[in-house]
Structure 1
Amino acid sequence: MTSSTRTPTEELSATAGRHLLLNMTPNGSFGQGGQDLFVVRSGEGPYVDDADGRRYIDGLSGLYCCQLGYSYAPEFADAAARQLRELCFSPLWSASAHPTAIELSERLARIAPVDIEHTFFSGGGAEAVETAWKIARRYHALRGDSTRTKAISRRGAYHGLTLGALSLTDDPGLREPYGPGAIETRFVSNTNRFGLAPECADDDVYTARLLAELEAAILAEGPETIALLIAEPVQNRGGCITPPQGYWPGLRTLADRYGFLLVADEVITAFGRLGEWFGGDCYAARPDLVTVAKGITAGYAPMGATLVSSKVTEVINRPGAVLNHGYTFAGHPLSAAIALRSLEIMERDRILDNVRDQQGHLATRMAALTDLPLVGDVRGAGFFYACELVGDLEGGGFSDRARADLVADLVPRRLREAGLLARVYNRAAPLVQIAPPLISDRALLDRIADILTDTLTEASARL
């Protein structure tokens, strides 16, 4: 095919194959002689259009970022233009700051979990997690607890791909190519009940079991060596895993008992994904630090942040103490202005109320998918759900053929053909995940559920 007869997607794929390295992608599979990329050209409302003009429901909110969809660009452009006319850049460095970052930090303190009063800005989620680790280490060192050099995370968790954050991520395929982790980390069970004994359906029983396992791990490692425990209010990796009642208060009790800091990784769950400003509020979480990114700017600019409790800042802000950590572009004026505008829009247009109003209906539609033979479990909250698929082998596993035919091919292909962008995992636990924009109305949520139903019904018949 000559270049004059190529589609826009084919042209762009060929150029990308020559010059662009994609994230988390077998880059050698694309380009000349390889498969085409999925190239997103534009967006409107909850939809995106590809380079060839086909329209899709963005059922993942641009990888959990675009809380407001794609129709607020004029407002964000106005906020950006105002900021750029006034100040294009100034670092938060060496006793220097700028008004927009100061205003955003004050705004975040007003909506943050109880006792969270300070913000350290960064460029994204992994940097926010790295910052949480370094603040925790600095906190303990200033208190004379220099032996606290270990972390606790949960099995299957993902907290980022920089070397520190990667140490807290339980995925050997991601960690092992880069050698030993930078942080010694003990992994404990997450809160996924699927496939467990029937008594784990009882919240009190299950919470007690999880907290007993965690306490045993703390004691085995030595409480005096643990700097922090990090967990997501709803764990993304493994499929929107919600906690049982009492779990987060139990984490708070153990953190206080043994002296480590509790970190809520809210990179995905903050800013309305679960119907609250912070997802941990749904589960009575009382963290010492909170990591955020993604939805803080609704995807209109890059930004991350680590929110810090007064308990911690009382130590790290002691006279003469230096927080010797930073990023050149932390709290960039443009990103800060866009984050402020995003928070303003969410309040003005009652975005949280929309999630609260629609989440029960979405939960009902998603739960109905468990009637299909291919769907073993549905779990999630707010606008954040996953279906765990079960296959043709005893115990629900997939044969190699069924995994290749259904999970790797038919399900993602049919979803895309039906106009829905969703996430289909093809790992130890095959999953289909959705996280639609928070502006989605009932009709759109029904359309998403209908596409999932039709696709998984066809796959079940093929199984």
Structure 2
Amino acid sequence: MTTATATEVLSASAARHLLLNMTPNGSFGPDGDDVFVVRRGEGAYVEDSDGRRYIDGLSGLYCCQLGYSYGPEFAEAAERQLRELCFSPLWSASAHPTAIELAERLSRIAPPGIEHTFFCGGGAEAVETAWKLARRYHALRGEPGRTKAIARRGAYHGLTVGTLSFTDDPALREPYGPPAVETRFVSHTNRFRLAPEYLDDELFTSRLLGELEAAVLAEGPETVAMLIAEPVQNRGGCITPPTGYWEGLRALADRYGFLLVADEVITAFGRLGEWFGGDRYGARPDIVTVAKGITAGYAPMGATLVGDRVVEVVNRPGTVLNHGYTFAGHPLSAAIALRNLEIMERDRILDNVRGLQDHLASRMAALAGLPIVGDIRGAGFFYAAELVGDLDGGGFSDTARAALIADLLPRRLREAGLLARVYNRAAPLVQIAPPLISDRPLLDRVADILAACLDEASGRL
């Protein structure tokens, strides 16, 4: 009789009892595929339930900035907090010292003019909070008609019913009916496949801002509550902005009275070599949403950081901020977030990214010479290769897409010991976001594996 492997046993149990996120759950189980079960982590590596070791080239899900070896330090912080206080809500004029300390600490590293924090459980809740704050702000100022949002095509800002409004992907939105928020979509900042003249930053920025201004005027400036954008757009593949773009967003927000929201759920806490990725591009938002790296993945937490001019309105005497979450600013998560910020400063994590980002950029740029690679883009420790296929115009036939994007590349990358993201939603992409503790040899290993697997895929076209 054949003995089942640990993965087979766990996969069978998962199929019976566990619903996975963004997954065709019915495909797994004894008569289907195995679930990929991660059992432990160390440094920049994880190990699966059968003992195979992989470079975590995606930092979990853009979360594990510090990798997996700081557990004892976080455990000590957690134990100290739990011995003192396990829970107290940030509700009805009640707070606890750890959340207060974390909010004060975040104010010291936040973009200028942002001094307040509203805690929540994750990124989607942070974005949902940003929307509700924007609506409340405008209503209190006597503009209740500002009920619309502007977002960028191809972007993703969460999967709650509210945040789904800010993505234009019908596969995500349509199963749940009409969007909760009327949203106008404008172009993202990806220059790949555009005319060569748009390589000029001034021309490209002018085009993008002109389109945005036209959209605001078409909707009616008095109806627009906020614009939301990531400093580097994740979906569509690490799309960086041209020079002057974020300064232009600020100018248009000021001209037409809407709030500017920087979604930094992925790009904050060192991913781009800065505490906040927008700082790299001159962003001056009214509101910033964060999650993921705020605790380096050691506990769940999100937050909405709010600028002074918004807070001055929503904090008017007698005004109630009638919004909240039971576990917002949970003492355990707050203690872990504080320890994370302490470690990042002590171990000079941002300096590590700044010191190695040019090397990673050069290694990634070298992949552009492979036939299957159409474009390389990104910044810091956050990169994507957009793939081109066997059809005129660079698209993939159904056969090539099934063989290469859905099967060969993810399988060969994992067999080579690298966890990366291979997907074909907004574009066919391979994406990496390695832990911020990664050293030069590890980044070289990531680039070498990518090169070998993409070269093999090129040969199959």
Q: Would the TM-score normalized by the shorter structure come out above 0.5?
A: yes
**1:263 counterpart residue number:** 261
Distance (whole Å) between structure 2 residues aligned to residue 254 and residue 337 of structure 1: 38
Question: Where does residue 301 of structure 1 map in the other structure?
Answer: 299
Name 2:29's counterpart in structure 1.
Answer: 31
Q: Per-residue CA shift, 1:84-117, capped at 9, x if unaligned?
A: 0000000000000000000000000000001000
State the partner residue of 2:219. 221
Q: How does 1:391-430 map to 2 (within 5 A)?
A: 391-430=389-428
The residue that corresponds to 1:372 in the other structure is 370
* Deviation, structure 1 residue 308: 0.2
Q: Deviations over 1:145-169 (max 9, x none)?
A: 1000000000000000001111012
Match of 2:431 in 1: 433
Counting only pairs closer than 5 Å after superposition, residues 144-159 of structure 1 correspond to structure 2 as: 144-159=142-157
**Cα-to-partner distance string for 1:409-431 (whole Å, 9 max, x where unaligned):** 11111100000000001235110
Over 2 Å off, 4+ runs: none
Contact residue 235 and residue 426 of structure 2 kept, 8 A: no
User: In the alignment, which residue of structure 2 is the partner of 1:333?
Assistant: 331
CA–CA separation in structure 2 for the residues paired with 1:123 and 1:26: 25
Q: SS at 1:163's partner residue? A: coil
Matched residues in 1 for 2:163 and 2:269: separation?
22
SS at match of 1:68: coil
Structure 2 Cα separation of the partners of residues 421 and 153 of structure 1: 30
**CA drift at 1:263:** 0.1
Distance 2:195 2:312 in 1: 44
2:452 is the alignment partner of 1:454: yes
TM-aligned CA deviation for residue 462 of structure 1 = 1.1
d(CA) in 2 for partners of 1:291 and 1:454? 37
* TM-score computed with the length of structure 2 as normaliser: 1.00
Correspondence for 1:100 = 98
Which residue of 139, 142, 146 corresponds with 2:140? 142
Q: Is the 8 A contact 2:59 2:435 kept in 1?
A: yes
Structure 1 residue identity aligned to 2:173 = R
Match of 1:247 in 2: 245
CA distance in 1, matches of 2:197, 2:128: 37
Q: Distance in 2 between matches of 1:16 and 1:313?
A: 45
Matches within 5 A, 1:8-19: 8-19=6-17
Change (3 A) 1:95 1:428: closer
Contact 2:154–2:426 (CA<8 Å) still a contact in 1? no
Distance 2:95 2:200 in 1: 50
CA distance in 2, matches of 1:75, 1:26: 37
Report deviation, 1:194: 0.1
One of 299, 312, 315 as aligned partner of 2:313 = 315
Question: 1:32 Cα deviation (Å)?
Answer: 2.2
Equivalent residue, structure 1, for 2:181: 183
Paired residue secondary structure (1:49): strand
In 2, Cα distance between equivalents of 1:409 and 1:173: 21
The letter of the residue matching 2:303 is: A
Distance 1:251 1:223 in 2: 14
The 2-side partners of 1:95 and 1:407 are apart by: 52
Q: Confirm or deny: 8 A CA contact 2:165 2:180 kept in the other structure.
A: yes
Q: Which amino acid is 2:205 matched to? A: T
1:224 shift after superposition: 0.1
Paired amino acid for 2:66: L
How far apart, CA to CA, are the structure 1 residues paired with 2:395 and 2:291?
35
One-letter code of the match for 2:240?
A: T
Deviations 1:31-50 (A, max 9, x none): 12010010000000000000
1:165-201 Cα shifts (integer Å, max 9, x gaps): 1101221100000000000000000000000011100
Cα distance in 2 for partners of 1:19, 1:142 equals 46
1:194 is matched with: 192
Where in structure 2 are there 5+ consecutive unaligned residues? none
Give the Cα separation in 2 of the matches to 1:96 and 1:366: 49
When the two chains are superposed, the root-mean-square deviation of aligned CA atoms in Å is 0.6
**2:123 is the alignment partner of 1:121:** no
**2:40 is the counterpart of 1:42:** yes
Q: 1:237: which partner in 2?
A: 235
Output the CA distance in 1 between the equivalents of 2:459 and 2:385: 17
**Which residue type is aligned with residue 41 of structure 2?**
G
Q: How far apart in 1 are the matches of 2:346 and 2:442?
A: 22
Report how far residue 274 of structure 1 moved. 0.1
* 1: CA distance, partners of 2:426 / 2:134: 32
Equivalences for residues 336-351 of structure 1 within 5 A: 336-351=334-349
Q: 1:355 aligns with which of 353, 356, 361?
A: 353
Task: State the Cα distance separating 1:202 from its structure 2 match.
Answer: 0.2
Which whole-Å deviations, capped at 9, do the CAs of 1:324-373 have from their partners, x for residues lacking one? Answer: 00000000000000000000000000000000000000000000100000
> In the alignment, which residue of structure 1 is the partner of 2:78?
80
Which amino acid counterpart does residue 80 of structure 1 have in structure 2? A
SS at match of 1:318: coil
User: For 1:56, what is the secondary structure of its paired residue?
Assistant: strand
Aligned residue-pair number: 461
Aligned pair partner of 2:283 in 282, 285, 290: 285
